[in-house]
Each structure stands twice: as C-alpha cells, then as structure tokens.
Amino acid sequence: MTGPLEGVLVADFSRVLAGPLCTMTLADLGATVVKVERPGSGDDTRSWGPPWSATSSTYFESVNRSKLSAALDLSDPGDLALAQELARRADVLVENFRPGALDRLGLGYEHVAAANPGVVYCSVTGFGSGEGSDLLGYDFVVQAVGGLMSITGDAGGEPTKAGVALVDVLTGKDAAVGVLAALTERARTGRGCRVEVNLLSSLLGSLVNQAQSCLETGRSPERMGNRHPSIAPYETLRCRDGLLAVACGNDGQFTRLAAALGRPELADDARFATNAARVGHRAELVTALERLLAADESAVWQQRLTEAGVPAGKVGTVADGFALAERLGLSPTVTPAGGTPVPRHAATYSTGLVRPPTPPPALGADDSLVRAWLSEPGSPPVRRPTNENEVTS
C-alpha cells in the first residue's frame, strides 16, 4: 500500500508539534517526508521527557512516525547547499522558523519558489508574519492570550490550559488541510503557492460557538467548569462513586433522562420543560439530578442512560479511552514493525488510503541516504521501506 500522496516529496523544516503533526499526516497518506534536524540535538522535543522512548522521547514519537531524518547544519555552507537542493526538489516545504529567518538562508518562500515554481510552501507561525512576527508562539502562551484559558476551568477559579497542546494540534491539522488544498489547486493549474497558518488564528477559529457569542454580544464568555453555556444538563454530575458526563442536547433526551431516573414528572416541571428553562434554573436542576444519581454508581448509570437513549459516560482516563476504542473495534493504535504502538491516523477510508507506518526515526538515521540522493542530480526520492505485512493493528 502506498497512499494517495505517493511520489510527493515533503521537506520538513519544522519542529516541536504543529508543523511535525502536519507532515506526519502527509506521511500517513503516502508522502516521502525528509525531516531536517540540527546535528547533535535534533528537534527540541527529542529532549522533552520523561517519559522516554527507545530513541528519544514519547513526545517526539507522537508526531514523527514514517519520516526520514537528516541532520543538516544550516550554518555550514555545504549542508546549507544540500538543504537548498532539498527545497528545490520538494513538492511541499513546511517550516516554522521565526518569520524572516529562512530568507537569510536562501530558504524563504521567494527564494524557493524562484527555483521551484510548483512548490507548496507552508509557514507555521505563532501570530502571523506581519505585526506579530516578533512574538514567540508557544501553545501555552497562545491559549492564554487567545482566550481559551479564560473559558477553561471552574467558575471563580484560575484560568486553566487544556490538558494537551490543543492549539498546536489544531494548527497542525489546519496546515495539513491547507497543504492538501494547495496540492489540489496545483494539479489543476501547475502553480504552487504559499500557505500560512498561525496559532492564534487557528485557536480563534476553533472557539466556534464561544467566539460567535462574543462577536454577536460584545461580551466575552466566562469559565463554567464542565457546564455548557447554552445547554442543560450538559455537564458532569456526581453519582455515588464519582462523576458522570450527561449531555442532553434536546428536550426529548431530557424527558428520557427523567424517566430513567424514576422521576418522569421532572420533564413537565415548568423550570425544566425546555432547554432555555433548564439553563435558567441550572442550579435547581443539578441538585435534583444529583440527588437521584446518588442512588447508584456511575458505571451503572452510564449503562441505564445509554440504554434509554441519553448520551452519558463515566469520566475515565486516557487508558480508559484506548480500552473503550478497542472494545468498540475502532483499532485505535497501529504498531510499526520493530516499533511500539502509536495512535493511528484518525480517518479510515473504504479504499485504504493510509500507508503502513514506520517507527519515528533516530536523529540522523537517514542522513547518508538523503545526502547521497541530494548529491546526485535527477535521482529519485529515497524512502525507508515498509513491510505492510509486519504492521499490526
């Protein structure tokens, strides 16, 4: 299996998370990705541990499978020439250097496009390449200044970051979408283009209803813990042994919830009969529901409410999430030959478009292969071979 991007060469000049997640997605779909790293240290995330993997860190491994690693010192004229040749041959170049840094090395968009007019050149920044070009774009900082932390956490408590570098993840996915769109346009016109994504814009675009509420009303939303600003009950509720997430998205689901709890008359109570009424009387509603839920354990209620057609789930761990996906037959991981399990490419395709992965590379693992290829004009791209039969799900 090769994937729909077979034959597409990606020069990956990115590091940390957003850019590498983009290029890993392209690799999953069959592209040959050459990851350019600093000799000696490599991508910053190789040292972001514990926990550690066999070759670096689990952080690095999470976004760098199925790539080739070449250690090129961009301050060395010989290595810089090889990097420029890689950019000249690439179909796609992804970078997240500070704006202007690659221009000084002859690797900026104008330089690369002059020699390679068909290149799709994707720049990932924190705050854009204009007025925000001097600002340092780290996920945590963008969560803070972009407003995500202001709506995350308990009401009255401190603003809280998400439990994962969510803005980087969203930006990486936006970058992959942008690259695929540009490749589709190139197939029609023969022309490449520059794709620019930045963390702040990806964050603001991801705030959906919360963003639109702010734009429509002029008021910023506030932290509500696990509660939803527009729906009730849509939050965690305490049972005998712990928390249960209950998500009633309409009045019919609330009617079924009330019946499953043995209090069908709650659905006729004027305070709870409609979603708007329930939002307005949320405190009374939660008190009534938790009094009933205290009669049994969260796992028992999850089963009862699910059978009644009410979306509900016991609050679990990351391990619980993987275990659930396994029980549901979703095959949440794949294991590259000679590697350890990794989360699989999230989409599935009826025609099997995802290429079996190879393990994340050790620093400079493919250095000699890449250098030899770049030194030979007209030679085909190199790619570490995969054995589809050795990849397990």
Q: To the nearest 10°, the Cα dihedral for 345, 210, 178, 162?
A: -50
CB–CB of 78/373 below 8 Å? no
Cα 263 from Cα 90, distance rounded (Å): 65
Cis peptide before 233 (omega within 30 of 0): yes
Quick check: is 168 catalytic?
yes
Token reading at 377: 């004009």
Pair type for strands 92-95 and 234-238: unpaired
Cα 154 from Cα 147, distance rounded (Å): 15
Write down the H helix ranges in 190-243.
199-206, 208-217
Find where tokens 């932290």 sit: 223
Helix (H) or strand (E) segment spanning residue 334: strand 333-334
Active-site residue, selected from the candidate residues 43, 91, 168, 366? 168
Which sequence positions are flagged as catalytic? 168
